[in-house]
Structure 1
Amino acid sequence: MASRHQQRPVGELLRQWRERRRISQLDLSISADISTRHLSFVETGRSTPSRDMVLRLGEHLDVPLRERNQLLLAAGYAPAYRQSALDDPDMAPALTAVRQLLTAHDPYPALVLDRCWNMLDANESTLVLTAGMAPELLTPPVNVLRATLHPNGMAPSILNLGEWRAHLLGRLRRQVSVTADEELAELLEELRGYPCDQPEPEVEVPGPGDIVIPLRMAQNGVELTFFSTVATFGTPLDVTLAELVIESFFPADEQTSAVLRARN
């Protein structure tokens, strides 16, 4: 993906991001405080943007940090944002904080994901979600979406598979739209091909008493019901850190809470 971006003019990439965000040249020029004429020249290749302008337009277009680096490379500049390895010493404080969150969330499941939904870390209680999965789906790197929706993964135990599948595919589809990430687009196509014997709602409409979309699953003859929350770092300046997601599952009823507390 990086090489493809480097071969294409920065103006063309900026125009595509602007169109993806459905922002007119006029609106972008006003918000970024540049003239419409200059913006037009940048998009058509008649003018080369400065490094600061590339960063400013990337900010106003809400371009992900990974892709802002690609815009800079396409314009002939060095990347502005680091992409640290997880074992980089500078990442240690952030990862320590993440591990504290995971541990504190026991006895309820919580896991850390990268941009492609690969599991980077998880607490012990996550085992309640992965019980019974085919071993090959749990071989690192474990892709959480694949493991959830694959017929040899969680899918057979999910009682509202159609609803939960539609929810997950909707999240991934929106992520593809925001990031234009080809790897995520390929994952979306793969997941769409997995079988599902339940209707998949096109619009998420709450059922009686629902305030969130629940995950309902059967385990050892007991129905467990969860809802989840998603957390990210608030002010990341590193590509890897910006793409980390912490997903935490909470019991949606007392029965589920009791089962999870009894496991510890």
Structure 2
Amino acid sequence: MTTVDTPHAGALLRAWRERRGLSQLTLAHTAGISSRHLSFVETGRSRPSRATVLKLSDRLDIPLRERNTILVAAGHAPVYPEHHLGDMPMAAISDAITRILSSHHPFPALVVDRHWTMVDSNDAVGVFVEGCAPELLEPPINVLRLTLHPRGLAPRIVDLGQWRGHLLARLQHQIGATADPVLLRLYDELAGYPCDDPVEEIEPHSLVVPMRLRTEAGELSFFSTTTLFGTPLDVTVSELAIEAFYPADEATARVLNGS
């Protein structure tokens, strides 16, 4: 039987400190503990208390899911619950999501989890999925894969080079913040898709990055916003993002409003 060594809590905290580019002295100072104690924690000579793990995790901006992992590695119970959206404690969150998606119609809006899997959407998202390969639309739908896959949305995106560069940059930033191996594999997959359009640099004077899309109603232009839940204390809530799309010009607004 093969056993897998699980990193101790200190090793996990050290990895996050190094990922954030902080010295032991700087982290210890901002967390209000001695650098000697932090050194003992990182080397495994001292087991961190629950309060110390939470304090260091907060200073390092560690995702809630990983904070629970470090707590367990330190011999403590997880602090942050993880509910499904259909669970009773999530009723208010689910209701808020439904209201946001509904109120954003006739403009497209969708909800994704930490791996860019679509959790929910409004009917206006149909403008994006028309013509996409059926296998890309089978749940679970990965929004980035659907967008950049050569049998997905990509062939209809006029400014594919720029939009592709924008999405890959966002994903790369997310990987840097979370160190999620699933996202790293997703990045490698998406970056390997064939694309004849070179990555275009965003114009310095641009306020947003638009996506111009060929549709049966003509070319439509969108920009997007991302909404996160403030100060979440639930793992699921902390990993949800609402991606809302708005018309970037009057012509697109008229088409989406049906006028």
TM-score (norm 2): 0.96
Alignment of 1:108-257 (within 5 A): 108-201=107-200, 204-206=201-203, 210-220=206-216, 222-257=218-253
Equivalent-residue separation in structure 2 for 1:242 and 1:197 (angstroms): 36
Per-residue deviation, 1:221: 6.1
Residues 112 and 240, structure 2, Cα contact 8 Å, conserved in 1: yes
**SS of equivalent residue, structure 2 residue 257:** helix
**SS of equivalent residue, structure 2 residue 208:** coil
Equivalent-residue separation in structure 1 for 2:46 and 2:231 (angstroms): 32
Per-residue deviation, 1:222: 1.1
Equivalent-residue separation in structure 2 for 1:47 and 1:85 (angstroms): 36
Is 1:259 matched up with 2:255? Answer: yes
Per-residue deviation, 1:245: 0.3
The C-alpha deviation readout for 1:126-169, integer Å capped at 9, x for no partner, is: 10111111111111111000000000000000001111011101
Equivalent-residue separation in structure 2 for 1:71 and 1:186 (angstroms): 23
**SS of equivalent residue, structure 1 residue 142:** coil
Equivalent-residue separation in structure 2 for 1:210 and 1:50 (angstroms): 48
Per-residue deviation, 1:19: 0.5
Q: Which runs of 5+ in 1 are unaligned?
A: none
Residues 109 and 124, structure 1, Cα contact 8 Å, conserved in 2: yes
TM-score (norm 1): 0.94
Equivalent-residue separation in structure 2 for 1:132 and 1:210 (angstroms): 30
Per-residue deviation, 1:210: 2.8
The percent identity for this pair of structures is 54
Taking only aligned residues, the RMSD between alpha carbons, in angstroms, comes to 1.5
Residue equivalent to 2:48: 49
Equivalent-residue separation in structure 2 for 1:177 and 1:20 (angstroms): 8
Residues 107 and 260, structure 1, Cα contact 8 Å, conserved in 2: yes
Query: Which contiguous aligned blocks of 4+ residues in structure 1 show a shift greater than 6 angstroms?
Result: none
Per-residue deviation, 1:181: 0.6
Equivalent-residue separation in structure 1 for 2:41 and 2:52 (angstroms): 10
The C-alpha deviation readout for 1:151-205, integer Å capped at 9, x for no partner, is: 000000000111101110111111111101111111111111111111114xx53
Alignment of 1:87-102 (within 5 A): 87-102=86-101
**SS of equivalent residue, structure 1 residue 262:** coil
Residues 206 and 212, structure 1, Cα contact 8 Å, conserved in 2: no
**SS of equivalent residue, structure 2 residue 28:** helix
Equivalent-residue separation in structure 1 for 2:91 and 2:185 (angstroms): 32
